[in-house]
Amino acid sequence: MKKENFISLILGTAGGMLFALGMCMALLPGWNTFKEGIAMGVAGLIVLLVMVLVRRKMLGKAPIRISGKTIGATLLGIVGALTLGVGMCMCMVWEGLMIQGILVGILGIVLLLCLIPLCKGLE
């Protein structure tokens, strides 16, 4: 395993776990740890951002340039992930919305799949 892949593995796992645990802490009312969960989620996001910057540096790539395409892809990813999450909530949390939740979840998956040709392009 190359060093940049190992570093990305460690930082990605740590950041993902911090973010996931933070969101659980913030969103599960039984835990009563909303503020601590937000702090842990932000810490996870920071670790993930550091991972991206370190990996790009190790691969010798230029820093990320902010362009209209980058902003559009980021917004599409956010909207797609939120749509998929709302669909899952409709299925698992809210009563009587199973079919609608499945449809909303499929819409979220389609939005996320649109990221592939947007980022990689078509040949």
Residue 112 neighbours by CB distance under 10 Å? 16
pLDDT at 63 over 80: no
d(CA 63, CA 43): 21
pLDDT higher at 100 or 119: 100
Where are the alpha helices (H) located in the chain, listed in sequence order? 3-27, 34-58, 68-92, 98-113, 115-120
Per-residue pLDDT tens for 24-52? 998 888 889 999 999 999 999 999 999 99
Going by C-alpha positions, the residue among 101, 80, 79, 81 that lies closest to residue 90 is 101
